[in-house]
Structure 1
Amino acid sequence: MAGAQMLNYVEIVDVLCEFFEVAVHFILYHRGVYPADLFETCRKYGIAVKRSRHPDLNSYISEAVAAMKPDMEKGLVKKIHIVILSDKYAALERFTFEIKSLANRSPDPGHQRQGSVSISQLQDHLRAFLMKLATCEGYLSNLPQGITFRIHVEMEEDFVPASMGSEGSAWVPGDEDEIRVSNPSIVPLRTVDMGAIRVQMFVEEAGLHVTSSDDLIA
């Protein structure tokens, strides 16, 4: 778009964090983690999206996204996983947003580093992400009853989230084994390159939907 103002690094992170919050609600609705009547319809990026009406769930999601934002601004967040778990806490599906940031390659966090997208172009990309997510029922198996979910953030190298250990922190140390999908099939969903940040979205589905942690033992 001629003459459009390109977003800088922090502005892109702001928009992405807002998108991640929308995407979590969207995934929970479309994968039936909670009853459909728990969600209301609103509009984002020019399309209808679903958002939970439950205050505690909404707070958990918004606080988790807010907690990861400082680390995203520093380029320290490598992957964001939304993991769907059975009633025995076995990972059935894992939606992953893989983030490649230029900020972690420089001592300067790059707050003024220009991206290659305007706000309008970025919203177009994010709308396409959501539209792809909305079709997931067509290529993923039905999920069992009693499922739940977890948000898991994977950091670059051995960095610890900035809020870890602070009072009221949304984060606790996680174990990769707890969110690993058994014998996964991987479905690539979409990739967008914004210059300063590149985001790839894909979903892993267990080869056979397990219903017990015992089913994960070879």
Structure 2
Amino acid sequence: MAESSELNDPALVPASVVRDEVVSAVLEFLEASLHQILHSRSIYSSALFERRRLYSTVVQAARHPGLVKYIQGVIQSLKGALLASELDKVVIALNTDQGTLVEQFVFDMPMVLVNMSSEDVAELEPLFRSTLLKLQNCSALLEPIPAGCTFEIWAECQSGDPLPAQAWVQQQPPECEHRIIPIKSGHLTSGHLDLQVKSTSNGRLASSSIMVH
């Protein structure tokens, strides 16, 4: 019995196992968030999405095979930067059909995976669930965007090293004035997660934060 108890002790879980678990959880969350944003902001028809359960709540997920595969590939390309604790921000940018930036969802997440424990892993699910619930209702907080918008994904790393070329196109976000609206902000023992939305108003980029508490 003592041996079984020790195996279930979070303090005895190898650090490499904890890191892999955290990275997998973060990637799953980012993928789910992108699907939810595309649905909430009507980038694609709602008919292309289906309801699924994740983190004990209902989320929207695209069901078009090509889109699903693309999203999976882009999100998985972040794995190396996450494992190295190099990932600073992930940005989901929405543009008009003319290429004008109208909105950015900015995930600010310098999570120090080196120091994360099993207890931190347990904190992730409620944090992710709360954020996704906010994203489901974000259109109530944000101005409507033009029909026919497309999306891009940017990533910022501490080292400045480029991410895999097959998944990322390097470009600088346009310089604009910002108005900040918090959407969600949460803190873990070894890191934090903040989500902001930056939207345009009269041609200027304004920033909204969806704060996660």
TM-score class, shorter: 0.7 to 0.9
Q: Is the 8 A contact 1:31 1:137 kept in 2?
A: yes
Change in Cα spacing, 1:192 to 1:54, as seen in structure 2 (3 Å) is same
1:50 matched to 2:52? The reply is no
Residue 63 of structure 1 corresponds to 73
Choose from 79, 83, 86 the match for 2:93: 83
Show structure 2 runs of 5+ residues with no match.
1-7, 12-16, 205-213
1:111-190 aligned at under 5 Å gives the runs 113-114=116-117, 116-119=119-122, 121-161=123-163, 163-164=164-165, 169-177=166-174, 182-190=176-184
Greater relative contact order structure (CA < 8 Å, 6+ sep): 1
RMSD: 2.2
Choose from 37, 43, 47 the match for 1:37: 47
Residue 96 of structure 1 corresponds to 106
Residue 4 of structure 2 corresponds to none
Deviation at 1:172?
A: 2.6
For residues 198 and 35 of structure 2, the distance between their equivalents in structure 1, rounded to whole angstroms, comes to: 18
1:199 matched to 2:193? The reply is yes
Q: Is the 8 A contact 1:9 1:115 kept in 2?
A: no
Q: Bigger shift: 5-14 or 149-158? A: 5-14
For residues 55 and 170 of structure 2, the distance between their equivalents in structure 1, rounded to whole angstroms, comes to: 33
Change in Cα spacing, 1:19 to 1:4, as seen in structure 2 (3 Å) is farther
For residues 150 and 140 of structure 2, the distance between their equivalents in structure 1, rounded to whole angstroms, comes to: 21
The number of aligned residues is 192
> TM-score under structure 2 normalisation?
0.82
Show structure 1 runs of 5+ residues with no match.
104-109, 211-218
Question: What secondary structure does 1:117 align onto?
Answer: helix
Question: What secondary structure does 2:52 align onto?
Answer: strand
Deviation at 1:17?
A: 0.6
Deviation at 1:39?
A: 0.5
Deviation at 1:174?
A: 2.1
Q: Is the 8 A contact 1:31 1:143 kept in 2?
A: yes
**Richer in helix (by share):** 2
Change in Cα spacing, 1:11 to 1:174, as seen in structure 2 (3 Å) is same
For residues 176 and 206 of structure 1, the distance between their equivalents in structure 2, rounded to whole angstroms, comes to: 13
